[in-house]
Amino acid sequence: MRPRISVKGDVYELFLGDAKIGQAVVGEVRPGEYILHAIDIDEKHQRQGWGTYLLKRVYERLKAAGAKSLSSSNEGSGTIQMLDKVFGRENVQHHDGHEPIDFETAKKIMDVDYGYTKSVARFPIPTVASFVHSICKFSAYSPELGYLRDYLKQGIDPYDFAHLLERYFDETSGIPDGFVDGTDYIERMSQTELANFKKWLEDGPVYDEASDPHSPSYLFLDYQKVLRNNTWLVHFSDETASIESQGFKKGHPDERTLGLTTYFTSRKKKGPGWNFAFVAGSKDAVMAANSNKYGKHAVMFQSAGVQAYHSGDSETQVIFRGEGVHELIPLYKDENGEWAIESSRDGRQIAKGNFTQIVNWVIQNHAQYRRVIVRTVKAFILSVCKFAESKSIVDYPPMELMHLKKVVEYLNANLRLPSGIETWNKDRLVSYLDVTKRKKEQIEEWIFEKRHILREPHYQDLQHAFMTLRNRWDRKVTALEEMLRRFP
């Protein structure tokens, strides 16, 4: 039975099948600085490596979000041993009070003396080039897309196939002494042993798992690139009216099992999550439009996404976060196979033709005809109305709420570094850094002033958007400071 991770705010839940066997609670105390409040595994699943498995998934998500550190207060040596395995011993500093201590001393304090320690684990610091690359190219998409990108690029992870260890040993060196369960034994394997196991997996056995819906996404999806948030995408469906009204209200919850999502029942898709689309006008989009493979009608919209080749479908697809799409354009197909766009006011046809012609018409004319062809998801409007009705913000201008999303988009656009910044002299770079710091401080002040709104339960995704924005501006400042260190 395969594990899966479900993330709800600061809580990371670990499941085996439908049974929850553990969870980790992580909070951000300052931009990029996180604290591990707790990590708990069900008693009957302890000492089987599940705690390390869960912490590794937390590490991957936080790293994708630009985390700098993860701190913890320890009551037993289990936590520091997990930090040691996930971060590497050289990246974890332990403390007894205010005094730094090494791993063995910390372990003794807790296991022998029954004392307490504190630990701070540091994430790897990207190079200046990677900072600039990240800010210039990837500023306009969410940490979730960044995590999916990294996950698909990582290749085969031996820990995902611990259940094949018994077969591996049986076919190679024989079952070792003390082997009971793969998830337990894999935690005791050396780097050389893990490398040999990975090579065995890559030689073929891992692909036997490609028919299992719970298999890792990277077995089905070959990463190609990240698409910016102004990319025109198309999603086919027989339920365009529902999407027009409610948006992509249902999606696949786990990016680790995106290979065969059709095998998961609708009850698994209880809320927004991951959805699939094509780049509008692409060869695969045209084929899907002609064949009705995914639905007779479609919606076009602009969104960021991860582009990947799906080996099972033999298509280049785009994976995106459905809850981030608030505006879309419905495309309707008639019985003769022609496509049309209808006015949202009176239903008359604005444009008609084959699929490619309609896609090109939208891209060229959407700004001019925006008022009659673009649908704003009603669920998005209703969430704003709920804000306006809230007593706690009765003095807040309701119309300004409609523009909060635009504020995020504007500030995200200003994250990009000026072209040619690598050739600037020190004085010019210092001046630009000062301006950037002032802008970051203004954003933090703005978030503090609007905290009573951002805390409203009706619009948690907006709060997340602004927290992410703040973190990205912090990373921009760090990137500029790194660039300044080049000068004497």
Domain ranges of the chain: 3-124, 157-215, 222-376, 380-484
In sequence order, what are the residues at sequence separation of 6 or more whose Cβ sits closer than 8 angstroms to the Cβ of residue 480? 429, 432, 433, 436
Q: Which residue has the tokens 């002494």?
A: 177
Average of per-residue pLDDT values in the chain: 80
Q: What confidence tens digit (pLDDT) does each residue in 16-34 have?
A: 877 889 999 998 888 888 9
Percent of the chain with pLDDT over 90: 24
pLDDT value of residue 130: 43
Residues 261, 299: contact at Cβ < 8 Å?
no
pLDDT value of residue 383: 46
Residues 34, 25: contact at Cβ < 8 Å?
no
80-84, 268-272, 351-355, 403-407: the lowest-pLDDT one: 403-407
Query: Rounded to whole angstroms, how far apart are CA atoms 356 and 279?
Result: 12
CATH assignment of 3-124? 3.40.630.30
State which of 310-324, 383-397, 413-427 shows the largest mean pLDDT: 310-324
Q: Bigger pLDDT: 412 or 207?
A: 207
Query: Rounded to whole angstroms, how far apart are CA atoms 27 and 217?
Result: 27
Question: In the chain, what's the furthest Cα-to-Cα distance?
Answer: 80
| Residue 61: closest CA among 164, 143, 138 | 143
pLDDT band at 390, cuts 50/70/90?
A: very low
Residue 114 has pLDDT above 90, yes or no: no
- Beta bridge partner(s), residue 418: none
From residue 394, give the alpha-carbon distance in Å to each of 162, 172, 208, 446, 457.
Answer: 55, 70, 59, 18, 16
Residues 362, 299: contact at Cβ < 8 Å?
no
- Three-class SS state of 65: coil
Q: What is the DSSP string of 339-375?
A: EEEE-TTT--EEEEE-HHHHHHHHHHHTTTTHHHHPE
Residues 256, 4: contact at Cβ < 8 Å?
yes
Q: What six digits make up the tokens of 309?
A: 């080749």
Residue 397 has pLDDT above 50, yes or no: no
Q: Bigger pLDDT: 247 or 140?
A: 247
pLDDT value of residue 92: 92
Q: Bigger pLDDT: 200 or 467?
A: 200
Residues 265, 330: contact at Cβ < 8 Å?
no
54-63, 155-164, 311-320, 445-454: the lowest-pLDDT one: 445-454
Q: What is the number of helices (H) and of strands (E) in the chain?
A: 18, 18
From residue 321, give the alpha-carbon distance in Å to each of 227, 278, 313.
Answer: 12, 14, 20
Residues 105, 94: contact at Cβ < 8 Å?
yes
Q: What is the mean pLDDT of residues 378-397?
A: 40
pLDDT band at 392, cuts 50/70/90?
A: very low
Q: What is the mean pLDDT of residues 445-449?
A: 66
Residue 152 has pLDDT above 80, yes or no: yes
Relative orientation angle of helices 128-138 and 460-484, to the nearest 10 degrees: 140
Residues 387, 395: contact at Cβ < 8 Å?
no
Q: Which residue has the tokens 């024989």?
A: 174
Q: What is the DSSP string of 208-262?
A: GGGG-TTS-GGGTEEEEEEEPTT-EEEEEES-HHHHHHH-S---BS-GGG-TTGG
Q: What confidence tens digit (pLDDT) does each residue in 403-438 have?
A: 455 555 545 555 666 767 778 888 888 888 887 887
In sequence order, what are the residues at sequence separation of 6 or more whose Cβ sits closer than 8 angstroms to the Cβ of residue 80? 74, 92, 94, 103, 106, 107, 110, 117, 119
pLDDT value of residue 441: 76
Residue 139 has pLDDT above 60, yes or no: no
DSSP element (H, E) containing 133: helix 128-138
